[in-house]
């Protein structure tokens, strides 16, 4: 059975005087294991998110595969299923 992952978005203050806000979105599966993390970033003048490689777990909760991190262009919060 495949279900939609749990999505948790946080906004963290950063920078001098804490005037910058960085969005972090975490995706978790049913048992609460982290599947993927997207963190707001600016790379080469483009706004978007750095995305951790998606994790796959075995029946005992061990990571058995993990994708490579990448940059996802865009300014909106990525509230959608992991890729």
CA angle 82, 9, 29 (to 5 degrees): 40
What mean pLDDT is predicted for residues 13-29? 78
Q: Within a domain: residue 79?
A: no
pLDDT at residue 23 is higher than 80: yes
Residue 39's nearest CA partner among 64, 61, 14 is 14
Q: Within a domain: residue 78?
A: no
Q: Within a domain: residue 27?
A: yes
Cα dihedral 75, 77, 81, 83, rounded to 10, equals 40
Q: Within a domain: residue 17?
A: yes
Q: Within a domain: residue 80?
A: no
CB neighbour list of residue 17: distance below 8 Å, 6 or more residues apart = none
Q: Is the pTM of this model over 0.75?
A: no
> What pLDDT, in 10s, does the model give residues 24-76?
889 988 888 889 999 988 888 888 999 998 999 998 989 999 999 999 988 75
Q: Within a domain: residue 64?
A: yes
Q: Within a domain: residue 32?
A: yes
Give the range of the structural domain holding residue 30, as residue numbers without chain letter. Answer: 6-73
Q: Within a domain: residue 41?
A: yes
As for how many domains the chain has, the answer is: 1
């Amino acid at each position: 059975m495949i279900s939609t992952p749990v999505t948790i978005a946080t906004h963290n203050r950063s920078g001098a005087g804490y005037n910058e806000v960085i969005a972090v979105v975490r995706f978790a599966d049913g048992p609460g294991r982290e599947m993927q993390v997207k963190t707001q970033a600016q790379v080469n003048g483009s706004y978007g998110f750095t995305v951790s490689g998606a994790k796959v777990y075995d029946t005992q909760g061990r990571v058995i595969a993990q994708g490579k991190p990448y940059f996802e262009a865009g300014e909106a919060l990525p509230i959608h299923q992991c890729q």
